[in-house]
Structure 1
Amino acid sequence: MGIEFTEFTVERTVGRMPVAGNRQTVGFLHGGAYVVLGESLGSMAANLHAGPGRIAVGVDVNATHTRSATAGYVTGVCTPVHLGRTLTVHEIVVTDEAGRRCCTIRITNLIKDAPDHARAGSGGPAS
């Protein structure tokens, strides 16, 4: 997908993605690519908020497409709507290079204790 994170905090996570390589057959950025960008930003922000020993897992994502990007990059800006102990909600606004809104995504993540193998630090089985 070519996603590049350019800012990464609990309060604001920003990333960009090229249109090239992510187009549908008629030349527009694929709607699913917008969702991949939004879910990546929202899930990473939720996991940062969750903190050590906890993980965030997506339970809902939706997108409203309002414009089609055809070239260059799109940029997603993710901001929290709700940061709770067990639930987060983020809004991701995706714009084209002219600053025009192309898509608005909302993602809800459930925060829970990480499985034992994830707590080992490597993401693989604990030794």
Structure 2
Amino acid sequence: MDAVTDVSPQTYPAAGALAERMGITIVEVSAERVVGTMPVDGNTQPMGLLHGGASAVLAETLGSYGAAVHGYSVGRPMAVGVELNVTHHRSARTGIVTGVAVPVHRGGTLATYEIAITDESGRRVCSGRLTCMLKSV
């Protein structure tokens, strides 16, 4: 199987119903880097701050995309999350947050991605790490 190194967000499979409901937009997809955005509005907790779970969904969505693209190159294109860790550094009340996922490890059966989520001023809102098991379809 040929390595898949770059995929157009317009042609790669959709991020799923939850990501769509949360307004996540995939901007860039490759095994080396996945970028996506999400609005704060509509994804807040009762105090008006970006919900930590929303940041976790953005992190898992982006890391899963990267793992799946890598999985194609090893004949295991189904990426299933087995561990997600997120640390919240600061709050966001408005605007758009951007997540960037980069690989920490890309093996034959596991892939781990680190995800940095920042606000519109470039300040880190959240750091995440996702490990996915790579499976055959």
TM-score range, shorter chain: 0.7 to 0.9
2:53 match: 32
Structure 1 residues 59-111: Cα deviation after superposition (integer angstroms, max 9, x where no partner)? 00010000001100000000000000100000000000000001001000001
Structure 1 residues 41-63: Cα deviation after superposition (integer angstroms, max 9, x where no partner)? 00111111111553110100010
Higher-strand-fraction structure: 1
- Partners of 1:31 and 1:91 lie apart in 2 by 17
1:85 match: 108
Identity %: 54
Which structure 1 segments of 5+ residues have no match? 115-127
2:14 match: none
Aligned partners of 2:89 and 2:125 also within 8 Å: yes
How many residues are aligned here?
Answer: 114
Aligned partners of 2:70 and 2:77 also within 8 Å: no
1:70 match: 93
- Please list, as runs of the form range in 1=range in 2, the aligned pairs for 1:31-70 lying within 5 A after superposition: 31-51=52-72, 54-70=77-93
Runs (4+) of structure 1 exceeding 6 A deviation are none
1:122 match: none
> TM-score when scaled to structure 2?
0.81
What SS does the corresponding residue of 1:78 show, helix, strand or coil?
A: strand
> TM-score when scaled to structure 1?
0.87
What SS does the corresponding residue of 1:10 show, helix, strand or coil?
A: coil
Which structure 2 segments of 5+ residues have no match? 1-21
For the aligned residue pairs, the C-alpha RMSD in angstroms reads 0.9
